[in-house]
Amino acid sequence: MTQFHSLLALLALLWAAPLAAAQEAPELLERWQEEPRAAYPVGEAELEDFEFRARPIIVFADGPGDPQFERQMGFLAERIDELAARDVIVLIDTAPEARSPIRRALRPRGFAVILIGKDGRIAQRKPAPFTGRELIHAIDKLPLRQQEIRDANRPVGGAGAQVLETR
């Protein structure tokens, strides 16, 4: 039964992936903001397009039938709500021959999963699937994520807040 649920989660993650490989970054970011729980082909996007907006997780494979790719997408689907809450955009590139700008920049060999921080730096790179738990743990250790957590826990207008008078 859990295998069936994993398959459903994988299908839910991939349902919004567009059929056309080439798409402009502004359009991709708009689609992601409307549906952060989907996976999107990298298309013509570049890493700089996501800086300080999202944390890309890029899944590279030599084809969509790669067993490691399928396993990775299942792991992501299981934790997609938690990943979306951390501003993660899942990008997929299963067409090495297309030589997307992101593929040229990161130069994966075969299967690879790469987590990019909001600051544009490579945070994690692995030639095997990451579990959702491993990715969430890696994200939560990033400096910008730590700041987001602190900001979320900071009281707004609480007892310790100073009030400025205007005259």
pLDDT tens profile 96-140: 999 999 999 999 999 999 999 999 999 999 999 999 999 999 999
What is the domain extent for residue 45?
A: 2-142
Domain assignment of residue 89, yes or no: yes
**CATH number of the domain that residue 22 is part of:** 3.40.30.10
pTM score, whole prediction: 0.80
Domain assignment of residue 151, yes or no: no
pLDDT tens digits along 87-98: 999 999 999 999
Domain assignment of residue 66, yes or no: yes
- Report the sign of the C-alpha dihedral through residues 127, 130, 135, 138, in that order: negative
Q: Which of 19, 44, 14 is nearest to 29 (CA)?
A: 44
Number of domains in the chain: 1
Domain assignment of residue 27, yes or no: yes
Residue 38 predicted with pLDDT over 70: yes
Domain assignment of residue 159, yes or no: no
Domain assignment of residue 17, yes or no: yes
Domain assignment of residue 154, yes or no: no
Predicted confidence at residue 24, as pLDDT, reads 64
Domain assignment of residue 149, yes or no: no
**How far is C-alpha 130 from the chain's CA centre?**
12
Q: Which amino acid is at 146?
A: Q
Spell out a b/e string for 84-123, using b for 16 or more CB atoms within 10 Å of the CB, else e: bebbbbbbbbbbeeeebbbbeebebeebbbbbbbbeeeeb
Residue 74 predicted with pLDDT over 60: yes
CB-count burial class (<10 Å; 0-12, 13-18, 19+) for 70: middle
